[in-house]
């Protein structure tokens, strides 16, 4: 698992806004530190140097300030 950022705000429609180190692709699955699916990337906002992502959550509860992670791909899953 690779930490890429954290949830910084809740949005009125149920989504969350997260500050990330880089902009993942739309639809990318995001995870909690325990490896549980947190949600997926619905949109990328802001400048390339300091992006935010809009996360459609798959879980409910208090997520503010929660770190978010990407699962590391195995060597066989990586494109060459």
Question: Rounded to two decimals, what is the model's pTM?
Answer: 0.81
Residues 2-32 have pLDDT tens digits of: 999 999 999 878 899 999 999 999 999 999 9
* 8 within a domain of the structure (yes/no): yes
Please say if the pLDDT value at position 77 is more than 70.
no
- Six-digit token string for 9: 């705000």
* 80 within a domain of the structure (yes/no): no
Handedness of CA 20, 44, 42, 1 (dihedral sign): negative
* 76 within a domain of the structure (yes/no): no
CA distance 49 to 73: 24
DSSP classification of residue 23: -
β-sheet bridge partners, residue 31: 37, 69
Are residues 20 and 53 in contact, defined by beta-carbon separation less than 8 angstroms?
A: yes
* 11 within a domain of the structure (yes/no): yes
* 79 within a domain of the structure (yes/no): no
Please say if the pLDDT value at position 74 is more than 60.
no
* 27 within a domain of the structure (yes/no): yes
What's the domain range around 7?
2-70
Provide mean pLDDT across the span 54-68. 86
| Beta strand extents in the chain (DSSP E only) | 2-10, 16-20, 29-31, 37-45, 52-57, 67-70
Domain count along the chain: 1
Provide mean pLDDT across the span 52-63. 86
* 18 within a domain of the structure (yes/no): yes
- Can you give the CATH number for the domain in which 23 is found? 2.40.10.230
Provide mean pLDDT across the span 30-41. 92
């Amino acid at each position: 698992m690779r930490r890429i950022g954290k949830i910084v705000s809740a949005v009125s429609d149920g989504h969350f806004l997260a500050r990330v180190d880089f902009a993942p692709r739309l639809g990318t699955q995001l995870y909690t530190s325990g490896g549980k699916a947190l949600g997926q990337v619905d949109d990328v906002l802001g400048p390339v140097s300091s992006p935010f992502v809009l996360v459609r959550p798959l879980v409910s509860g208090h997520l503010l300030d929660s770190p978010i992670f990407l699962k590391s791909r195995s060597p066989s899953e990586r494109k060459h």
